[in-house]
Amino acid sequence: MAARHSAHLAILSLRVRSNPCESARLAQELSLPRSPRMSRLVRNPVALYSFAFLFVAFPIWLWTRAVRPNPLPTPAVMLAASEALLPPPPANFRVTLLRSGLRPEALAAAGVPPSSIASALQAAQSLTMVPTALASADAAFANARRASDRLERLIQSGKGTPADVAAYQIARAALASATAQRQAVLDQVFDAATTSLSTLQRTALINLRANAAWNLPPEFLVVNRTQEDWVRLRDALANEKIARKLHDQPDASAQAQLANWRSHSAVAAARGGLDTSLAQIRTNWNAAAGD
């Protein structure tokens, strides 16, 4: 061991004598203690690179967890949040919608999707002057109707004078004007609610509204008919209903007519909308109109 140490010193002394700069470098190497762990890292480049990678990657991993974006809300959550910000519907808003021809059954038969119900009713609700205007129109209609009915009964009883007959004509004109004024307010509600709908949906709603007086299933009201066809359709449906109630066979010719009417493309589409969408439309309608 001593001989090896002596030989090593002899080699160092030869290096120093042959190169003066070597002496300074050797002195620096001998004066600085070297960590055993650092020595192993220097001798093993793979370990050194792994250590450097962890040193850089760990802060990046912490940063990505800190700035991770929140998940996007679902459409249902967004719709509920938007509805929560809206003002409550005005008094009697549900009745106004029904009088305007915007009942859930009509919307479903017209093919309006459930997702469009809230926006359609919100558009109608935005007409803030409607409650006051409709109340005024209803009052004017009621007064005109009472005056017209009173004069009509007086004339029919045989006690009316020529002046009463003339007054009756004026009262009838006032009643017609009040009726048109009230209908104009309801038309504004209908127009506001249906502005964003498609042409087919709006046309179906217009027909449903115009034919509502027949009081037939909604799918048949999307098509305009002659007076005779409406009567035949009403009778055929009544025959079918009575036969079902009595557990009897319906009239064959009436059933053939019903099958023909039901096969109409618009009627079939309306029936499909009622079957698939009415439940959800009714839920959305109640939420937007106010329970």
Quick: pLDDT tens for 98-153.
999 999 999 999 999 999 999 999 999 998 889 999 999 999 999 999 999 999 99
Which among 112, 50, 118, 132 has a CA at the least distance from the CA of 81? Answer: 118
Whether 117 is in a domain gets the answer yes
The DSSP annotation for 134-199 comes to: HHHHHHHHHHHHHHHHHHHHHHHTT---HHHHHHHHHHHHHHHHHHHHHHHHHHHHHHHHHTTS-H
Q: How far apart are CA 129 and CA 273, in angstroms?
A: 33
Whether the CB-CB separation of 96 and 134 falls below 8 Å is answered with yes
The burial of 7, by beta-carbon neighbours within 10 Å (0-12 exposed, 13-18 middle, 19 or more buried), is given as exposed
Do 66 and 60 form a contact (C-beta atoms < 8 A)? no
- Model confidence at 90, pLDDT cuts 50, 70, 90, reads confident
What is the model's pLDDT at position 38? Answer: 52
| Domain extent at residue 194 | 92-223+264-289
Query: Of 234, 220, 222, 219, which is closest to residue 276 (Cα–Cα)?
Result: 219
Q: What is the pLDDT of residue 43?
A: 55
| pLDDT tens profile 183-230 | 999 999 999 999 999 999 999 999 999 999 999 999 999 999 999 999
Residue 101 lies in a domain: yes
User: Is residue 1 pLDDT above 90, yes or no?
Assistant: no
Residue 147, exposed/middle/buried by CB under 10 A (0-12, 13-18, 19+)?
middle
Mean pLDDT of the chain: 83
Pull the structure tokens for residue 55: 């040193």
* 238 in any annotated domain: no
With respect to residue 197, please indicate whether it lies within any of the assigned structural domains. Answer: yes
Is 61 a domain residue?
Answer: no
Does 16 map to a domain? no
Could you tell me if residue 73 is inside a domain? Answer: no
Count of domains in the chain?
Answer: 1
pLDDT of 64 higher than 70 = no
Residue 1 lies in a domain: no
- Looking at 70-129, list the stretches that DSSP marks H as alpha helix, in order from N- to C-terminal side: 75-84, 93-99, 104-109, 117-125
Phi, psi of 254 (to 5 degrees): -65, -40
For the entire predicted model, the pTM comes to 0.69
pLDDT at 261: 98
State yes or no: pLDDT of 16 exceeds 50.
Answer: no
Instruction: Say yes or no to pLDDT of 21 above 60.
Output: no
